[in-house]
Structure formats: C-alpha cells, structure tokens
Chains A and B, each alone.
With several copies, the nearest count.
Chain A
Amino acid sequence: MTAMNMVQALNSAMDVMLARDPSVVLIGEDIGYFGGVFRATEGLQRKYGAHRVIDSPIAEGGIVGAAIGMGVNGLRPVAEIQFADYIYPAYDQIVSELARLRYRSATEFTAPVTIRTPCGGGIRGGQTHSQSPEGVFAHVSGIKVVMPSNPYDAKGLLIAAIEDDDPVVFFEPKRVYNGPFDGDPDKPSESWAGHPMGEVPEGYYSVPIGQAAIARPGEAVTIVTYGTMVHVCIAAAADLGLDAEVVDVRSMVPLDIDTLAASVEKTGRCLVVHEATRFGGYGAELSASIQERCFWCLEAPIRRVAGWDTPYPHAFEWEYFPGRLRVRRALQALMQEAP
C-alpha cells in the first residue's frame, strides 16, 4: 500500500494495465508527452511509447470514433476527454455507436472502450469546466457509467472499466483529485494522505462495477450520493451529529439498487444528493427507483439536493455548489418531516 491521491491512483491503474495487456492504448488531448492537463497520464508515453499513449487532435468525436475502430480491431482503448464539459461533440459516437455495437451486431462486433473524463466544479472553472453530465449518459442503454469518490475506488474501478468488455464512461470528480473535500473552500485543502481510501495498492486489483459502497454506516437516514458529494454529505451529517448512512453509488449504470433499498428500508428516510443540475438529473432516477422499491417503508418523502438548474456560475460557485449547509438544511427538514 502507498498513499496516493486520485490522480496518482488513476495513473497507476493505467500504468498497471498498459504493462499487463499489450492491447491497452490511451488516446486524448495533451495526454502524451505532456502527461495530461491534470497529469493523470504523466510519464506513461515515455514508458510505453507514442504509439500506445497517443496525443490526439482536438476532436472529441474523432477520438471516440477512432477508439471504437481500435476496439473493433482488438485493442482496449482508454480515451481521455479533457473536461466532461467537452464530451458533447462525442455524444453521437457514444450514444449511436459505442452503446449499440454489441447489440446491433449480435455480439459479432464489440468495442471495449473506456472514456475517462474529469467532471464537477469547485475549482473556479466556470460553466465550461465544472459540469456533471452523468445523467445524459446513464439514460443511454448499452454503456456503463461510473464515478469513484476516492483514490482506492478510482484505481480499482478504472482497472475494472478497462478490463470490462462493455463500454464504460468513467467520470472523475476533479475537486477530489488531490484530497477529500468537505465542502468548505476556505479551509486549507486536505490531502488524501492519511485517509483510509487514500491507501492504494501499487499493483493490480479491481473494484467491481455495479456495486455501491457504504461510505458511512448509520441508522437515522440514508444519504444516496456519489463523487465529491460523498465527502460533503459525511461532513454535513457530522455537523448535525446525525447518524446518517451515506451510500456511495459508485456505479451509476448498472445501479446497485439492492444496497440502496436495503439502507432506506432500514432508515425509512432518504436524501439523494449530487452536484449535477437537479431537473431531469440522475438523482431523479435514484429517487424514483428507491421510491418504487421502498415506498411502504418511507417515513418521509425522498428529497433531492443538487446543483441549481442553471449553468455553473463562475463568481457564485459557492452559492451554486450544493455544500454542507444545503445538505444540512435538507437533512434537518427531512428529519422533521411528518404528515
């Protein structure tokens, strides 16, 4: 075990897989010689060559289109989209092709492509470096969607994604690249060192896709969340001294509804929290499917805390971000709720 931050853990996952499997290749903007704008691929081109760690033109649609072809020809491409805000030019290749190929060819053609992309705000990136578009991928049949909240899961899930024969869109909550974030931007930023999930094996291991994790066990209320918000929610519950069970969804598709439902059946109350905009977001699916499963055990309506339904405003980042206060207020209201 070594202390790694999330970027190092991701780098280690790709390093391990490039070494283990000659069919693994990386492609993306600025990922090669430079090592990526967030340094996730640092040193990998030097180690594995420019034909396996490939600098690409600025064409997200071309990157994914080419990656699909590579996958069809026996490679396991890992494409980096520099920011999730810039994944939309690739949306057609992902939705119409990557997600459909196995199905429409009745398994004769498949492309095990992993698409890594940093998402989320809290880094003063403004509306085009802060988005969380997981919802518009989770709705698409045929792709798996994953978001880790810590270095250990990041490496294990990324290895699982690369080894997965299905396409995976892998979202990286960049606000927690360097350390957990409890929602207070004024506090000196924490590091992963010392955090239990910052202890990462150097070698190969994987975390199975399709399983949620109990980030904090509790009895009073269930908070269903993922990514950066896992840490904010734990902090908010702590602020209130509330014995909340915080469930880290981790795998958005397939969803581990059983783990979520078991928790809600136990607590009787549920708060769904994500950073993405609220309306029509992934939290709506969480709320709807939990309600369908747990309706008769619910002691109060399932509530959602999310980013407001506006673009991510540069100057009002901390009024926009669903921080500890917003989560606390929602928890307080939820605990008080009664007919």
Chain B
Amino acid sequence: MSTPHLHVPAVPARPGEQPDFSYVRLAPAGAEPRPPVDVAVHETAALAEGLVRVLDDEGRAVGPWDPGLTSEALQRGLREMLLTRVFDDRMQRTQRQGRISFYVRSYGEEAVSVAAAHALRPRDMLFPSYRNQGLHIARGMPLIDMMCQLLSNTRDMCKGRQLPVMYHSAPLRLFSISGNLATQYPQAVGWAMAAAIKGEDDVAAGWIGEGSTAAADFHHALLFAKVYRAPVILNVVNNQWAISTFQGYAGGEQRSFAARGPGVGVAGLRVDGNDYLAVYAATAWAAERARAGHGATLIELVTYRAGAHSTSDDPSRYRPKDEYHAWPLGDPIERLKRHLIARGEWSEARHAALAAELEGMVGEDWKQALAFGALAEGPRLDPALMFGDVFKEMPPHLEAQRAEMEAELAARRGSGGAGDGSGA
C-alpha cells in the first residue's frame, strides 16, 4: 500500500520532450456499429468509449457510419473548412499587425464545426463557443460581418460592446457567444425544452471545450437534458488542451468525456473530430434521435488544438512545439481532400486553386471591412451606444450618465485630448 500522496494527472509531453499520444484510445475506421436512433442510453456506453471513424488511412469511407454524401456535399465541406482556415490565418495576421485586439483560431478543428453545421437544419439553433467559427461560415454569415465585429468598427454587429469573435446572428440561429465558459450549455438545453413545450421539432446544439466540462453548467445541461429528454446535441470538443492545462485535469484520464452521457442517462458518442464524415454522421444521428423524441446525445469530438489558445497565448511554454505533426488523427482538411482525391473527384491542383480563390476572397472582404473602420484608427461607432440595450428602455440614471459622458467628450474635444479618457 503506497504512502498517501496527491495524485496529479500525468501530462504526456512538455516542451523539449517527444510528443506522446499513446494515451489517445484509437479504433480503426468503420469499426463501431451504428445503432438505431432509438437505442437505449446504456447501450451507447461502448460507443462513448469507442471512436466513431469513417475515413480510413487510405482516405476511403468505410463502415456503417458512412453518411454517403454526394461529391457536391463533400466539396462544400472541404471548401468551408478551408475557408475557415484561410479566414483564421488572415485574421491572426491582422491581429499581429495590431488591427484587431484579439483573435482565436480553430486551426485543426475545422471539421468539428463545419460538418456539424452541414448535418443540421437551418432552423436548428446553435450555441457556439469562441472556437466554432466554422459554424458561422457554414451557415453563411458574411465574412465582412465577422471582420467588422473583429474590428469593432462602424459596422460591428455587437455595437462595440464585445471582444472580437463574440459573434451572433438571430436570423442564422447562431447564439451570442459568451466570454464565460459553458454558460451556453444549459441555455441550449432550455432552448430545446422550449421547442418541445411548443411542439416544434427544432433541435438545439451546443459546443464547449473539454476543459469547460468541469464547469457546473456542463452538469446542469446534461442533467436537464436527461430529466426532460430535451432535443439537444451537447458537443464536447476535446482538443486536448485548455490554455496550458492538459485534458487530464478535466477528468480525461482513462475515461472519455462522452462517457459522462451514459453516466447521467444521455446517449454518448466518442467521435473522430478530424473526420468530416464521422462528425457529419454522428451529428445527423443525434439530430434524428432528438427530433424523434428520444432525447439528447453527448458527442465528444476528439481533435487537437493545433494553434495557440488565442493570440494572447504561447503554447511553446507548456507543450512540444511540433506536437501537432504527431497527432494520430491527422488534419481534417487533408483527410477530406485525400478522400475526394481517392474518389477521383478532386486533385492537388484544384485544391491549390481553391485555396488561392478563398485567400483572394478573404483579402477582398478584408479591404471592404476595413473601409468601415478599425478600433485603433477609427472611425468607430458613437460611444453613446454603450448606454443602449442595457435595458429595453433606457432608465433615467443611464440617461443621466450618457449626458455626463457626452459632456465629458465635449470637454475632451475642447481640451484637444485624445480618445483616452485622460483628457491630457
């Protein structure tokens, strides 16, 4: 019997060490069965510890989870994943240039969002985290709108009130992104409960990272989804890292995150998150299950955060620089490209051409977005907007404060002061 000591989760590799992904439990493509959507929750226990994969190492689509998509659908998937990456890379660069104050890439996780968006209906409501921009792109949010939000400029959909990447769109059914982790999860469940209460067959889907499963909201969401059999899909994007914290600290040691589902009484699927077809198929299965009234599904999407946490982060401080190259599930774009080529419906040349086209497009949109201003250089929206929408109607104390601020700005202009609050 060992003398008592505090166990702390092992981290496979730190800077300077060899990447080691032996802890990632894999399964061959096509190995997992695809049960009917009305399967009993406890019968999904094995799937929650397994790994749903469709694309094999040769780029073939195999097994019962192959959604059998058309070439057109596949090319759309490839295009929108690539667009997401091109967009991310460009925005990251502009942040470096100081044009935007903050950015979060989804590099390496594009399939998680794009495939899910494609598998859901337009009326289904999405509750994204800050790393699901693929949802917005796949739902057709104009890049210019996203850029203007990032620039906090005169066309910022958030009226200058939100950090970059906190997009929203009621018409596109993309919920407002919160800076507080996981809060959208029980909200997604409540939204789904409301759909059921109203007798509508819309489904809600929420996304959080594996680190965020530690939050109370994860528990509340799973519990309410179970108790009321809510038509909701709860996605956990296990990209192995939460800023500097390895997934073991969120409870990932020897246990999948998907297993939390059956534990509480919600179906669970562990899915290859870098496999567009697997993500699509799992999402479609869960949506069908939810729509048919069989309740929620917890989907763990196994992927890897290929980039930094955000533009404020430097991962070389806490993990090996080249870890991503050793990641066993590869790159989602490369894998779908390979599949399309294997099907004889794509080529390196067409891929290069597509990349060039998308880069051009993003560059064009960026120019146009800049025309609406940028936080640093301006023009900016009227600061008085900060007092709007705190309440539906502005109460007297905010009216008074707005007037005070207007007077302050007038004085500042008078004193020729900069937009800095100092008036110096």
Say whether B168 contacts A69, CB under 8 Å: no
Say whether A62 contacts B424, CB under 8 Å: no
Say whether B390 contacts A142, CB under 8 Å: yes
Q: Which 8 A-B pairs have the closest CB atoms?
A: A69-B190, A323-B421, A128-B179, A65-B186, A315-B160, A325-B423, A62-B220, A66-B190
A325 to B404, CA, bound (A): 12
Known: A74-B194, A142-B391. A313 touches B424 (CB 8 A): no
Binary contact track A28-68/B, C-beta < 8 Å → 1, others 0: 01100110010000000000001110111111011001111
Chain A, 109-126, CB within 8 A of any chain B CB:
109-110, 124-126
Say whether B204 contacts A106, CB under 8 Å: no
| 26 pairs, CB–CB < 8 Å, chain A vs chain B | A33-B11, A54-B6, A58-B211, A62-B219, A69-B188, A70-B191, A72-B187, A73-B195, A96-B180, A96-B183, A103-B161, A141-B390, A185-B420, A185-B422, A187-B424, A257-B397, A258-B396, A308-B398, A308-B405, A313-B160, A314-B101, A314-B160, A316-B380, A316-B385, A321-B421, A324-B424
Chain B contact residues (Cβ within 8 angstroms of A): what range? 35 or more
Kindly state whether residue B181 has any CB partner on chain A within 8 Å. Answer: yes
Binary contact track B189-212/A, C-beta < 8 Å → 1, others 0: 111111111100000100000011
Say whether B419 contacts A318, CB under 8 Å: yes
Among B8, B170, B190, point to the contact of A55 (Cβ < 8 A).
B8
Known: A66-B186, A109-B168, A318-B421. A254 touches B397 (CB 8 A): yes
Among A106, A129, A253, point to the contact of B159 (Cβ < 8 A).
A106
The smallest C-beta distance from B239 to any residue of chain A, in angstroms, reads 14
The smallest C-beta distance from B404 to any residue of chain A, in angstroms, reads 8
A109 to B224, CA, bound (A): 22
Kindly state whether residue A310 has any CB partner on chain B within 8 Å. Answer: yes
Interface residues of B (CB under 8 A from A): 5-6, 8, 11, 14, 101-102, 125, 152, 156-164, 166, 168-170, 175-176, 178-181, 183, 185-198, 204, 211-212, 214-217, 219-221, 223-224, 227-228, 242-245, 249-251, 312, 317-318, 375, 380-381, 383, 385-387, 389-392, 395-398, 401, 405, 407-409, 411-412, 415, 417-424
A110 to B389, CA, bound (A): 10
Besides the contacts A33-B11, A58-B211, A255-B397, what 16 more A-B pairs have beta carbons closer than 8 Å? A50-B8, A67-B190, A68-B190, A70-B197, A97-B183, A102-B389, A109-B170, A124-B102, A185-B420, A185-B421, A254-B391, A308-B386, A309-B390, A319-B421, A325-B411, A329-B411
The smallest C-beta distance from A124 to any residue of chain B, in angstroms, reads 5
Among B163, B211, B390, point to the contact of A57 (Cβ < 8 A).
B211
Among B158, B223, B401, point to the contact of A62 (Cβ < 8 A).
B223
Which residues of chain A come closer than 8 Å to B251, judged between CB atoms?
57
A132 to B194, CA, bound (A): 31
